[in-house]
Amino acid sequence: MKGARITGSYCALGEIQGEGPLLICEGYATGVTLHTETGHAVACAMNAGNLLPVAQHLRYRFPERSLIVAADNDRFTSNNPGMQAARKAAIEVGARLMWPDFPCPYCECTDYNDLVQCSAAKGGE
């Protein structure tokens, strides 16, 4: 919603108060992919700048829970802001960090949703 508060807010997929790892990612499509592929609960922060506030909030709410920050790999953008923000968030709250590794150097993939849809990842060209 235009003008709505973003900082510290997230879109939850799955049972956030459940057990098992809790994944934190940037976008909704990435979150849906992570939840579908892993079955784990996911908090979608909606942008890289919100990863740290969401991670801090979730660490406060769930001090013993395993948190994993799932970075966007903005490998074609200077300084890779997705990786930088995710790394900072993970370090700050003691979370693990994961990021997609792409099977082809030429595809334009940058996140887990892209990876699942990538024709090279499916054995195509």
Span 43-55, pLDDT tens digits: 999 999 999 999 9
Residue ranges of the chain whose pLDDT lies below 50: none
Alpha helices in the chain (DSSP H): 28-38, 51-61, 81-93, 112-117
Domains and CATH numbers, the chain: 11-117 (3.40.1360.10)
Q: pTM, whole model, 2 decimals?
A: 0.90
Q: Length of the chain in residues, anyone?
A: 125
Distance CA 75, CA 115 (A): 13
3-state secondary structure of 49: helix
Distance CA 74, CA 102 (A): 11
Structure tokens at 122: 């499916």
